[in-house]
Each structure stands twice: as structure tokens, then as C-alpha cells.
Structure 1
Amino acid sequence: MIRKLRLKFTASALASVLITLVLLMGAINIYNYRTIAHNADQILYILKENHGVFPDLDDPFGTMHKPDDYSKETRFESRYFMVEMDTDGSILMTNTSKIQAIGIAQVIRYAQKVYSSDEQSGYVNNYRYLQYHDGSTTCLLFLDCNRSLHNFYNFFITSIVVSLIGFILVAILIILLSSRAVKPLVESYEKQKRFITDAGHEIKTPLSTIQADLTVLEMDGLQNEWTDDIKYQTKRLSKLTNDLIYLSKMEETPVDEMLEFPLSDVVSETAASFEARAITENKTVQTDIEKNITYKGDQAKIEQLVTILLDNACKYSNPNGKILLSLHRKSKGIQLMVYNTCDSIDKENINHFFDRFYRQDASHNSQTGGYGIGLSIAQAIVQAHKGKIVATTSDEKSLEIDVTL
């Protein structure tokens, strides 16, 4: 239990850290990338509005087209070229006087690629381009963003490496501190288990005394409806106490011995023991049990599991109801299914059926003698065998409990 709690805490904390790092690094890198594109587009629009050249800083008209970070060095730092094409895609003019890193042939290939894409702006290799029309002429401006993109990619790789290192360091800290983080929960849980066990043993003593006194009274001929009621209620309380103690022990030592046993025979014998009860209550029990299924587990607890499920089906099935038990070997393991009809069932609350003391109908539970703890024990037994148990209803007039071992 403590190990599971630590694992859940560690997994949740690491998932939170990982999601935070991914979102943070993603936001930073996306912002950087968009900033590079935005700055490049600003320069391209300056060139567009000034016919392929940078305006003079002293020119009042030119200052209308400059971004805030534009300086005298911008024209010398920016490497770009320009291509003009006619309506059929033929090259009219190329201007590569402001760049030395690319030849005419490559310029033409880039221009034709952008012209055929019909995109107004974007990237071709490490060049940011702007395509616009000037009368019947198509103009294409290309700005070399190699240095900016190179810096971006370096930062991107660095951010990933730093994030991974940070994540590993945080993971180590979380793992080391997880026991301290869950310590209050563990202490509370241990106190709860200790209280249940101690209280259970303390309650059993006066209950045994009451039952012994009732036996003496009955032997003296003082049996009446009041003593019968006391006897019935003490039996219910004794069963509840035993179930709570058993459930607490199940969480401490889930299984005694894992030995292979004939599961088909155990399920068949347990189902047969309920046939007389079903006949008395005008209910039918049908079985569909595959033969020769063996299972490695705690035989006593598996037998108790089947007993709990059948007892639950008998208690809460409607008058003249139908109970079906099946056992089959499936690809995912061994499937045990218990189905029963009922008057009504709330589909929204079906997931709470395995909660301790959950009772959908309190009046019905008082009549059947249930406390809502049987399915909790069934779940504990299944989990101790690394299995899965689920409750479903298809029409809110029946309940199906499926166990996969």
C-alpha cells in the first residue's frame, strides 16, 4: 500500500513537472521562432515599400517604414536578393548585389519554387521570402536568416538538454523526498488500520458476552421477540466486525500462499451451495463453467470471492430474479462473471459499488442485512491477485460484475 502510494505520488509529480517543462520550453521556442519571422518580415516590408533598398535614416519619408529596432547597421547586416518575374513565370531581373553566399542558378531555382507555390511569405531553406505584385510584375524578396535560424536551433537544442537535465534532477529529488511527502498519509492510513483492528477486537469481547448471556436466558426459558432481535443484531454486528478486521488484514498481507488449484471445481461447488437458498427465495441460479480451468492463487480467498459475489447477487436480485455465473478462459486471462436481475440500479453510481459502506438503497440493505462492505472485500481479493473487477449495467435493470484473473 505504501509503495503504491509513493509510486502514485512520484508519477503525478513527475508528470506535472514534465508537462510544465514541455509547455514552458515550447512557449519560449515558439515565441523565438515567431520573433525571427516577424523581424524578417518587417525588413522585407521595408525593402518592398522602398523598391528593394533600405531607406536613409535621415529621410523623413523613409522613417515611416522602419521598425523600432532599425539602425544604420541594419542595411549592412541584412543579406538579401530580389527577383522580378512576368505573368508566365519568366525571369525579368535578378539583383544579388547585397549577397555573396548564393549563385544566380540557385537564385532562379528559389524564385521559381516560390512563384509556383503562390504563397505570399514563408521560408525556402534559410531564406525568408516575400512575394508581391507590382502591376503585371511579380516581385520576390529573399532575406538571409541563416544566422538567426542557426542561433534559434542552437537555443532549441540547448533548451531540450537543459530541460532533460533539470527533469532528471527534479525526478531524483522527488523520488528521494516521496517517502517524506506521503508520510502524513501513511501515518493516517496506519492509524486507521490500527483503529479498525483494535476496535474490532474490543467489540468482539462484549459481543461474545452478549451472545453468551442470550444463550443462558434462552436456556432459562426467557426467549421472546426481544431476545431474538438482540441475537439477530449481535450476529450482524459480529459479521461486520469480522469483515472489517479481515479487510484490514487483507491490505497488510493480501494472500497467504499462491498455489495452483482446480478453479472450475471450486466455482462449481460454491455455486451449488447457493442453489437451495435460491430455490427458497424463488430465484434461479444458472451456471456456465468451463471445465478443467486451473489457477495459481489463494484458494480460500478465491472461494470467498465467489461466495461474496453470489451472496450479493442473491441479496439484491428482484423477486423471481435470475442469477447467472460463468467462468471461461480468455486471451487476457480467466474471466469470472456474476449477473443478476434487479428492480432498478443507478448507472451513475455504479462505480461506487466497491467503496466501503456504500449503500444505494439503505432500506433494502437493512432488510438484507448488508453493510456495503462485501464488494470492498471482493475488490481487495481481486487486487491481491493482480486482477481487475468492474461492475456494469446495460439497462439499469440488471447488474453484471466481471472479474479478470
Structure 2
Amino acid sequence: MIQKFRYKFIAMSTTALLVVIMTIVGSICGLTYYHARQEVNNVLTILVDNEGQLPTSGQTKHYPQPQYTREGLQQYRYFSVTFDRADQLTSVEDDHITSIGPQTAKRLAQRAVKRGLKNGQMRYQGVAYAYRIRKQKKATTVVFLDESLLMARTTELMHTGTLLGVIVLLLYALLLTLYSRRAIRPIIQAEHRQKQFITNASHELKTPLTVISANTEMQELLGGENEWTKSTRQQVDRLTKLINNLVSLARMQEQPDITMAPVDISKLATSVSQSFSSVAKSGDKQFVTKIAPNLVVTGDENLLRELFNILLDNANKYCDPQGTIRMTVQPAKHTKNAVITVANTYKEGENEDYHRFFERFYRADESHTKNGKSGFGIGLSMAQYLIKLMKGKISAKYADHSLAFVITLKLSEK
């Protein structure tokens, strides 16, 4: 259990760092890409405003940034094509690019015009070009800008950021793995002290319980059984069962001995229900079962039997006088699961928090005063842990004055 907690701690911490790294790198790359696209659009606007050529003035009128001066624009690779009103080629400006000739420029411009879009992107021989079309009364100008160098900054930054992020993440995970045991050492020590306390306290409590039980038996031999001796024996049995449950739960959490195998849950439920029916009848309660045949799940037979006993014992304990206990084992309607439901009538449970029933020794305040019942103890906590070991699910729900515990286990492949 401690190892699982350690691995979960490492996984959650590494995931948190991964999210932070992805957010930072993604934000930087996104901003860089945005600025690169803005630069492409600004340069295209300048070229289109000047009919596909560099501006003649020392600095552009609408874009006073230093990089958009005439000298600054020399770094960009671009070409432009102009058509007249009859779509006849009138001029090609390709002095600022060497990989594109006049005929190629004409074909690319015609392709861009056919698309019918004022802006767009086009690839030629593996190079990405951004283009913009400006239509006037007498002519149409198509300007192309080689954006590969501009976009290369974003790509390079993305690769560098990803590489550094992976390196940082691996180093962090390595250091966290090396020092995680030291970080959770207080939790390990507290868990060990808790289990040791439960074991020692259990042994210490068994001795006085044995003495109380022996004295009660002697008293009954001498004076006969009465309501006081009967109550004492019931409380001794209850404490003995509670101590055994505490020890069993501590041992299961420390080193669970579980054998996962196909189990005929239908036969097992039938066997347990037959032995329980007499207990229900002795308490003047009705016991109703509905068990579908031949349902096989993957689990541990001993743990499943213990699970049934816990839930049925809990149902019998909290069932209303002359109430009804129901146990159903049915296949799920839409999934390949078996659904086990153990329910009992419990009229006073409408306002209780059913999600807390699996907490150890949980009991609502009303139950202290109204019916004097002993709370939900540790049994449901054990049931939840047993289900978790077998990769199943358990939940509590309340409807129609009945409290039901629903278990879901995956059906075994036949």
C-alpha cells in the first residue's frame, strides 16, 4: 500500500510539472507563432500597398517599426505578379528571390487567383509561401512572401522548448523517485505505528474479554441466564468480532493475500444466502433473493464470501423490525459486469450521508439517540477495501425507504 502511495505521489507530482512545462512552452511558442504571423501579414501589406515592390521612401508610412524600413525589408524573400483587367500578365517582380522564375511566378499567381481568396498559403517545392491579392480597377497584384525563415523561428523554439522540457521532466522524475521515500517517511512511520498499535491493542483487549466471557459463563452456571448476562455475552461477541476485523483489515492492507480466478458468483451467493436465511427468520425479518444463474466473475472466492457475509450482516443489523432484506445478483444491462445488490428497509436513514458509510466507525448523530444502534463500524470499510482489491466498485444509495449497497464486478471471459 505504501509503495502504491509512493508511485501515485511521483505520478501526480510529475504530471503537475508536465502541465506547468506544457503551459509555459506552449504559451511561448504560441506567442512566437502569433508574432511571426503578424510580421508576415505586415510585410505583405507593405508590399501590396506599394504594388508588389519595396517602398521608395526611407521608412513606410503606416508601419513605423524599425524592422520595416527599406533596408530592413531587404531580408525578406518575395516576388509579385501583376495582371491587367483581361487577366493578361503585365509584370513580374522577382529580383528578391532566386528560386522562382517568371513562368513559375505566373503559374503560382494564377493558382492563387483561382482560389478566390484574398489571403492564403501555398507550398512549392517544399517551401511555404504566404500570398495576398489586391484587385484594383485596372490591375490585379498578387504578392508572395517566403515565410519559411519566419516560421523556422517558431519551429526551432518549439523543438528547443520541448527538448528542454523533456530533460527537466526526466531529471525531476529521477530526483523525485530517489527522494520520494524520504518525503513520505513520516507517513510510512505513522502507518506502521497505527498497525502496530492495532495489533498490540488487540492482544491486550483479548485477555480481559476472555476473563469477562468466563466470568459470565460461571455466573450463568450458578444463577442461570438473565438479561444482564445475555447482554454481556452479546457485547463480548461484538468486541471480539470488531477486534478480529481490525486485525484482518490491518493485515490485508499490509500484504493482501489475494488469488484472482474465475468464481461462479451465482453459486457462491446462493450458498451464502441459504446459510443466512435462518438468521433473518430468527430476527423476524423477510429475506428475498433473486440470483441469476451461471454468472462468473474474476475475483477471490474467500474474499467474495467474506464480502457477502459483511453486507448481509450489516443489512440484518440495520433492517427495520419486521422489515425486508433483499439480495440480487444480476448481469448489467449495458456492460459486461455482474451487479450485486444487498438492500434492507431503513426508514430512518433518509437524511444520512451515504457516501460516509464506508468510513470506519461512522455513525450519524441521530442514530445515537433514536435507536441506539452501534454505528456502521469497520465492516463496510473492509467491504470497500475487498472490492478495491478485486478491481470492482461499491456504492450506497437510498430509495423507497430502503438502503442498498451495490457492487459491480467484471464478468470473467468464458
> Into which bin does the TM-score normalised by the smaller protein fall?
0.7 to 0.9
Which of 381, 394, 399 is equivalent to 2:386?
A: 381
Residue 45 of structure 1 corresponds to: 45
1:65 matched to 2:27: no
Distance 1:302 1:213 in 2: 37
8 Å Cα contact 2:129-2:148 kept in structure 1: yes
- The corresponding residue for 2:253 is 251
CA distance in structure 2 between the aligned counterparts of 1:295 and 1:43, rounded to whole angstroms: 67
Between the aligned partners of 1:135 and 1:393, the Cα distance in structure 2 is 76
What are the superposed Cα offsets for residues 49-85 of structure 1, whole Å, 9 maximum, x if unpaired? Answer: 34433335646xx455332433453132122222334
Q: Does 2:151 correspond to 1:149?
A: yes
* TM-score, scaled to structure 1: 0.82
| Distance in 1, Cα, partners of 2:195 & 2:256 | 14
Q: Deviations over 1:302-335 (max 9, x none)?
A: 3221111222233344554250232769999873
- Structure 1 residue ranges without an equivalent (≥5): none
SS of residue paired to 1:354: coil
Describe the shift of the 1:387–1:345 C-alpha distance in structure 2 as closer, same or farther (beyond 3 A).
Answer: farther
C-alpha spacing 1:88/1:363, structure 2 compared with 1 (3 Å)? farther
C-alpha distance in 2 between matches for 1:15 and 1:289: 44
Residues 172 and 87 of structure 1, relative CA distance in 2, 3 Å threshold? farther
Relative to structure 1, is the Cα distance of residues 329 and 274 closer, same or farther in structure 2, using a 3 angstrom cutoff? same
Quick one: distance in 2 between partners of 1:36 and 1:57?
25
Structure 1 residue 4, shift from structure 2 partner:
0.8
Partner residue in 1 for 2:104: 106
Q: 1:240–1:371: 8 Å Cα contact kept in structure 2?
A: no
Q: Is the 8 A contact 1:128 1:144 kept in 2?
A: yes
Q: Write the letter of the residue equivalent to 1:321.
A: T
Gaps of 5+ in 2: none
Q: How does 1:287-366 map to 2 (within 5 A)?
A: 287-291=290-294, 297=300, 299=302, 301-318=303-320, 319-326=322-329, 335=338, 337-342=340-345, 343=347, 349-359=353-363, 363=367
Q: Contact between 2:66 and 2:72, CA under 8 Å: does it hold in 1?
A: no
Task: Read off the aligned partner of 1:37 and give its amino acid letter.
Answer: R
Q: What is the alpha-carbon distance in structure 1 between the residues aligned to residue 53 and residue 250 of structure 2?
A: 83
Distance 1:368 1:350 in 2: 16
Aligned length: 401
Contact 1:309 1:338 in 2 (8 A): no
Aligned mates of 2:138, 2:325 — CA distance in 1: 85
Query: What aligned pairs does 1:178-327 form with structure 2 within 5 A after superposition?
Result: 178-221=180-223, 225=227, 228-255=230-257, 265-279=267-281, 280-291=283-294, 297=300, 299=302, 301-318=303-320, 319-326=322-329
1:273 partner SS: helix
SS in 1 for 2:223: coil
Q: In 1, are the aligned partners of 2:270 and 2:291 still within 8 Å (CA)?
A: no
Q: Secondary structure at the match of 2:68?
A: coil
Work out whether residues 264 and 294 of structure 1, in 8 Å CA contact, stay in contact via their aligned partners in 2. no
| Counterparts in 2 of 1:330 and 1:297: CA distance versus 1, 3 Å | farther
2:316·2:325 contact (CA, 8 Å) conserved in 1?
no
Normalising by the residue count of structure 2, what TM-score does the alignment of the two structures yield?
A: 0.81
After superposition, the Cα gap between the structure-2 partners of 1:179 and 1:248, relative to the gap in structure 1 and judged at 3 Å, is same
Please list the CA deviations of residues 244-281 of structure 1 after superposition, one character each: whole Å capped at 9, or x if unmatched.
12211121232277788876544322111111233343
Contact 2:266 2:329 in 1 (8 A): no
Q: How far is 1:12 from its partner?
A: 0.9
CA distance in 2, matches of 1:105, 1:77: 24
Q: Aligned equivalents of 1:184 and 1:120: distance in 2? A: 66
- The 10-residue stretch of structure 1 (8-17 or 87-96) with the greater mean CA deviation from structure 2: 87-96
Q: CA deviation at 1:188?
A: 1.7
Partner SS, residue 198 of structure 1 = helix
Identity of aligned residues (%): 28
Which residue in the other structure is 2:75 paired with? 77
**1:361 and 1:289 mapped to 2: Cα distance?**
39
- Between 1:42-51 and 1:322-331, the stretch displaced more is 322-331
Q: CA deviation digits over 1:121-173, x for unaligned, max 9?
A: 34323222233343464432222222222343333333333333333332222
RMSD across aligned C-alpha pairs, in angstroms?
3.7
Conserved 8 A contact 1:387-1:403: no
CA contact (8 A) 2:285 2:325 kept: no
Give the residue type in structure 2 aligned to 1:2.
Answer: I
Distance 2:51 2:290 in 1: 89
CA distance in 2, matches of 1:90, 1:315: 96
Question: By how many angstroms is 1:14 displaced?
Answer: 2.1
CA distance in 1, matches of 2:365, 2:324: 18
Q: 1:139 to 1:330 in 2, by over 3 A?
A: same
Distance across 2 between alignment mates of 1:285 and 1:252: 37
Distance 2:49 2:297 in 1: 84
Q: Does 1:14 align with 2:14?
A: yes
User: 1:287-310, CA deviations, whole angstroms, 9 ceiling, x for partnerless residues?
Assistant: 4152596977353x3322111122
